[in-house]
Structure 1
């Protein structure tokens, strides 16, 4: 039922005001990072995009002093438990009348698995929407036969494929498929060196790559979802 509710359509106004989220980590393990992005203001000012990264794994607290990312109106990097992070996210969404959107229901599954608070999970479910459902509605309505023939098997509904469809340009160091290995590299460094300043340059670069990849996913997700919904209104 929660998955079906998450696929409900929502308006362009709600899409512009939504909080877009993405977890990063290694397969089948507790998430390491949560990225969340939204436009400040009641009317979702496109010039006031806020990006917040939260380190969720205690073993990675040493990277909470990493360099801030450029290109955002506000950028924050902190370290908290996943429960505290989701509570803050839900409280902001409830107070400001925003939805919480990710690409697919993966993020919902992570919250259900690792947030040990049934009431908080229920609140999150009520606010959560699956951005891929909006993408698929656009896909069925708008994509031409010629474009369909260009699709590579198994890639038609990946977020990066929609970046291509809708003209979102990833940064040069996006590192498609490299996030888990970057995280592992940083983990090995922190086991020996404990904090940001002590990491090797290659390990610091790996973590900055994780942050930039996640920020691009959040920013690109917002671009994709708002573009898909705008095309249908």
Structure 2
């Protein structure tokens, strides 16, 4: 999971990012890939029944389970020959805890790349002077920090730390009012912010990985000569 990617592999990879609360299984999975024409595709797979009505009302794909989402990821990766890249180990942990048959878990995990250890190695080699500021959870090696370091700006509104609260708020509103159209404007806004947060995290991960791969790939021949 910690293998280095070439720049070509980083550009063609399938990027994934779960959203959920800290104490429950994830509610949705975001996917990002760029096709051969250079067109970026962002897809959200929603498998939390409490959020189905929000997903359907905003054109997101509803799936019956987390496992169904993983099977779509595997099929996409195999069919289009893309590595599966996640920012941290969380996605692999979700995979291991899922109800998928072990052979399917193994097939997915064999195609997964954990971006964080690679980005950390890159920072230590190319930016040893940079001191990262801890995020809301006290961790410094955050996607937000690496995005900033590589020149990708994520507006504060879409930053980390509020995903769980947004999910709970939208769930509660849907439970009370029954339809997405009937929930409050605040709840609708929280849902759209959540989706935008997921999209920016995916795009930031891809941006970071392309820059990391490019710089590390360019440096390898020079260091070999030295």
TM-score (norm: length of structure 1)? 0.86
- Say which SS state the counterpart of residue 210 (structure 2) adopts: helix
Q: CA deviation at 1:144?
A: 4.1
Deviation digits for residues 14-41 of structure 1 (CA, Å, limit 9, x no counterpart): 1111011110001121211100100012
Report 1:21-36 matches (<5 A): 21-36=16-31
TM-score (norm: length of structure 2)? 0.89
Q: CA deviation at 1:172?
A: 5.3
Once residues 159 and 185 of structure 2 are traced to their aligned partners in structure 1, the CA distance between those partners, rounded to angstroms, is: 17
Once residues 58 and 188 of structure 2 are traced to their aligned partners in structure 1, the CA distance between those partners, rounded to angstroms, is: 9
Once residues 135 and 25 of structure 1 are traced to their aligned partners in structure 2, the CA distance between those partners, rounded to angstroms, is: 24
Q: CA deviation at 1:191?
A: 1.1
- The unaligned stretches of length 5 or more in structure 2 are 218-226
Q: Output the aligned Cα RMSD.
A: 1.5
Partner of 1:208: 192
Report 1:1-233 matches (<5 A): 6-41=1-36, 45-46=37-38, 48-67=39-58, 77-80=60-63, 81-145=65-129, 147-148=130-131, 151-152=132-133, 154-171=138-155, 173-233=157-217
- Say which SS state the counterpart of residue 34 (structure 1) adopts: strand
- Say which SS state the counterpart of residue 157 (structure 2) adopts: coil
Once residues 133 and 121 of structure 2 are traced to their aligned partners in structure 1, the CA distance between those partners, rounded to angstroms, is: 19
Partner of 2:220: none
The size of the alignment, in residue pairs, is 213
Partner of 1:74: none
